[in-house]
């Protein structure tokens, strides 16, 4: 029997990789829904190739174009804010939630209601609204599976392990494109340099987050919410080759790690196919590369974003929402050449000094609306600081 699959954000890097896995195993999957925001041409192409039952284009400007292009296909077209659970009325096997940013929160919530499994590749949804997701997954008996390479690896390495058995959980970081450049040159970094990740093919926003190491701040927070391990046990090590994704030190003396190529199809295929993985073309990690694997401590002077982790975990339930919103605004300003590279983390730190910060930081949102209120406050005040 074919597995029924939904892909939220099918035109992005994770969505495209997911469809790549499905293509190699096309007889095992039935694509029920694909969604996109602006890339309507790619959405049309995907709908035709994978014979998608439904597509949802969030930007209603492109609705008629998609509708016309698919008029001869057996694909229903939806637009704007149509809830996923209004499009799908049966329980499906998997949803890949890969919409970038907090825009992915409501679609993920809707997907939990109609999915047996939600593979979650959206950091923002986890760090900003995990309490909401936990209640929903319990209510609808839905399993949430981490897709990020680090969290997927932690999940695999710690199966059946208790917190009392673990002494350290290490998340690796490539160090991004500026690992080896002199600190004094960072203020001259341009957007086109920041989006050139040395190992991974990613979108612009996540590439900039990798360059500042803000992505590791979010990944530690994400791990703390996802797994029941003491937050003080998490560490970050720089690993330029990006072969090792997580390392677990056990109190019995064992150290476990998972290695695989910088290809998101590997965790995705393991999630979707489990024990029936069909091989796909990939480069083997060569022995000489394994002999040159290196790990370094994070240079906090070069990557001051790492200092934000303790603040996010100790100053209030809504601090991750505030940091995420502020960072998202600042990365966008940097990409549009309105601020400098170093201004991103420097400005994020300024929001802690705002007179209303504690009031918002200590809130514990119970609804999407409450999450968005904190998010909006952080965005407006971050912009205000930049205008000054």
Q: Per the domain annotation, does 236 fall within a domain?
A: no
Q: How far apart are the first and last CA of the chain?
A: 60
| pTM of the model as a whole | 0.91
Q: Per the domain annotation, does 376 fall within a domain?
A: no
Q: Per the domain annotation, does 129 fall within a domain?
A: yes
Residue 116 has pLDDT above 60, yes or no: yes
Nearest CA-CA partner of 6 in 71, 88, 95: 95
Nearest CA-CA partner of 97 in 6, 177, 233, 163: 6
Cβ count within 10 A of residue 90: 7
Q: Per the domain annotation, does 283 fall within a domain?
A: no
Total domains in the chain come to 1
Q: Per the domain annotation, does 18 fall within a domain?
A: yes
Contact 103, 126 (CB under 8 A): no
- Condensed to tens digits (0 to 9), the pLDDT of residues 317-339 reads 999 999 999 999 999 999 999 99
Q: Per the domain annotation, does 14 fall within a domain?
A: yes
- Condensed to tens digits (0 to 9), the pLDDT of residues 266-312 reads 999 999 987 655 555 567 777 887 888 999 999 999 999 999 999 99
Cβ count within 10 A of residue 369: 8
Contact 216, 299 (CB under 8 A): no
- Condensed to tens digits (0 to 9), the pLDDT of residues 252-265 reads 999 999 999 888 99
Q: Per the domain annotation, does 91 fall within a domain?
A: yes
Domain interval for residue 133: 3-147
Contact 59, 38 (CB under 8 A): yes
Q: Which two tokens stand for residue 385?
A: 């600081």
CATH no. for residue 37? 3.40.50.720
Give the three-class secondary structure for 329: helix
Confidence of residue 373 (pLDDT cuts 50, 70, 90): very high
Q: Per the domain annotation, does 8 fall within a domain?
A: yes
Q: What's the rounded Cα separation, in Å, for the pair 204 and 159?
A: 33
């Amino acid at each position: 029997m074919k597995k029924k699959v939904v892909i939220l954000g099918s035109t992005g890097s994770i969505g495209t990789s997911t469809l790549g896995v499905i293509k190699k195993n096309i007889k095992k999957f039935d694509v029920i829904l694909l969604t996109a925001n602006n890339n309507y041409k790619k959405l049309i192409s995907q709908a035709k190739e994978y014979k998608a039952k439904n597509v949802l284009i969030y930007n209603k400007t492109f609705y008629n174009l998609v509708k016309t292009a698919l008029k001869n296909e057996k694909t229903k077209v939806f637009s704007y804010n149509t809830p996923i659970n209004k499009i799908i009325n049966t329980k499906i096997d998997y949803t890949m939630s890969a919409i970038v940013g907090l825009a992915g929160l409501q679609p993920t919530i809707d997907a939990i209601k109609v999915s047996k499994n939600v593979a979650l590749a959206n950091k923002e949804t986890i760090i900003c609204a995990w309490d909401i997701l936990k209640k929903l997954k319990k209510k609808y008996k839905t399993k949430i599976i981490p897709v990020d390479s680090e969290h997927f690896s932690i999940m695999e390495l710690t199966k059946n392990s208790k917190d009392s058995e673990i002494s350290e959980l290490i998340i690796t970081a490539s160090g991004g494109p500026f690992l080896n450049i002199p600190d004094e040159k960072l203020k001259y970094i341009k957007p086109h340099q920041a989006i050139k990740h040395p190992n991974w093919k990613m979108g612009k926003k996540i590439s900039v987050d990798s360059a500042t190491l803000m992505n590791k701040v979010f990944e530690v927070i994400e791990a703390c919410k996802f797994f029941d391990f003491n937050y003080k046990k998490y560490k970050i090590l720089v690993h330029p080759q990006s072969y090792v994704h997580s390392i677990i030190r056990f109190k019995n003396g064992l150290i476990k790690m998972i290695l695989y190529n910088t290809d998101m199809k590997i965790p995705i295929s393991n999630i979707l196919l489990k024990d029936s993985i069909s091989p796909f073309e990939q480069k083997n990690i060569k022995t000489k590369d394994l002999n040159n694997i290196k790990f370094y401590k994070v240079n906090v002077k070069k990557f001051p974003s790492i200092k934000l982790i303790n603040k996010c975990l100790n100053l209030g339930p809504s601090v991750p929402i505030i940091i995420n919103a502020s960072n998202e605004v600042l990365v966008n300003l940097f990409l549009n050449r309105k601020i400098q590279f170093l201004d991103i983390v420097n400005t994020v730190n300024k929001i802690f000094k705002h007179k209303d910060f504690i009031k918002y930081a200590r809130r514990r949102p119970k609804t999407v609306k409450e999450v968005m209120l904190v998010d909006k406050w952080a965005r407006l005040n971050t912009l205000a600081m930049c205008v000054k």
